Amino acid sequence: MKKVLEQDFVLANGVRIPKLGFGTWQIPEGEIAYQSVLFALKHGYRHIDTAHAYENEKSVGKAIRDSAIPREEIFVTTKLPSHIKDYEGAKNHLAQSLANLDIGYIDLYLIHAPWPWSNIGQDCRAGNGEVWRYFEEAYEAGLVRSIGVSNFNVADLENIFAHAKIRPMVNQIAYFIGYTEDDITKFCQDNNVLVEGYSPLATGRILNNPEIQKMADKYRVTLPQLCIRYLLEHNVLPLPKSTHENYIIENSQLDFKILAQDLAYLDQLHDTVTKWN
């Protein structure tokens, strides 16, 4: 059996995507982003998740270029800013991300959210349809190897499905013990849309949870390892983030199984773990 770090999921278009991704939100552009991505690559991660909005694409790209790992062995995701909802804007921003990263092509390009972060819930159905039309063109032109969405609920996805020639291959959503968005996850998995789980450690808010700690002790793993493994048990691709080399290593050591009865216990920890927001 291969280690998790060496395993892949396969997207609807046949593209392989490493099962563990490295998140880079809130990692400052410059030395910290550069070193963090280099640590991740040095310790076997082959999947890096960034976004235009994280303002660290240049350092992420430089670390990838300097790593001496062949480009085709690394899977790189970036995202169109959430407020861009028109064809020309999508085109301009993809060009910017390609220039910032400077790694030739992007493996996965996502619409960061169905609405601007400044106006969550705004009806952007028409805009998302227009943006998706450009995503399909960029995919067909080979600028990106796969395309998808993030923070989309079932209705947002159905809106894209209604007009799409090419369906989203990924939906990246918040997913951690106690916050699992089961309706969206089921809809995606039933429709062959890979679910990626962001904030598997609830951006740090889960780290002191006594119930999860107790379960981690039972498995002789750390709490972060149990939390990240939990996503894999649900066929959700985890994207943990850290700037510390020891945490980056720890978060990749996931070669254990959570028993069904323990998974069921963790599944029902809704609201008791941590509130989202």
Ligand X SMILES: NC(=O)c1ccc[n+]([C@@H]2O[C@H](COP(=O)([O-])OP(=O)(O)OC[C@H]3O[C@@H](n4cnc5c(N)ncnc54)[C@H](OP(=O)(O)O)[C@@H]3O)[C@@H](O)[C@H]2O)c1
Interface positions with ligand X (CB under 6 A)? 23-26, 49, 112, 150-151, 172, 198-204, 207, 224, 239-244, 247, 250-251
Helix axes 182-190, 154-163, angle to 10 degrees: 30
CA angle, corner 138, sides to 137 and 141, nearest 5? 85
Least Cα distance to 25 among 243, 256, 223 occurs for 243
Tell me the closest approach of the beta carbon of residue 261 to ligand X, in angstroms. Answer: 25
Tell me the closest approach of the beta carbon of residue 37 to ligand X, in angstroms. Answer: 11
| Catalytic residue status for 219 | no
| Residue 12 tokens, joined | 């609807």
Tell me the closest approach of the beta carbon of residue 166 to ligand X, in angstroms. Answer: 20
CA dihedral sign, ordered 12, 15, 21, 27: negative
Cβ-count burial of 270 within 10 angstroms (0-12 exposed, 13-18 middle, 19+ buried)?
A: exposed
The residue whose Cβ lies closest to ligand X is: 23
Closer CB to ligand X, residue 159 or residue 171?
A: 171
CA separation for the pair 257, 109 (Å, rounded): 31
Closer CB to ligand X, residue 11 or residue 236?
A: 236
CA separation for the pair 273, 138 (Å, rounded): 40
Closer CB to ligand X, residue 239 or residue 258?
A: 239
Closer CB to ligand X, residue 159 or residue 225?
A: 225
CA separation for the pair 202, 200 (Å, rounded): 6
Closer CB to ligand X, residue 62 or residue 112?
A: 112
Question: Which candidate in 45, 54, 175, 198 is catalytic?
Answer: 54
Tell me the closest approach of the beta carbon of residue 200 to ligand X, in angstroms. Answer: 5
CA separation for the pair 183, 153 (Å, rounded): 9
Tell me the closest approach of the beta carbon of residue 24 to ligand X, in angstroms. Answer: 5
Catalytic residues: 54
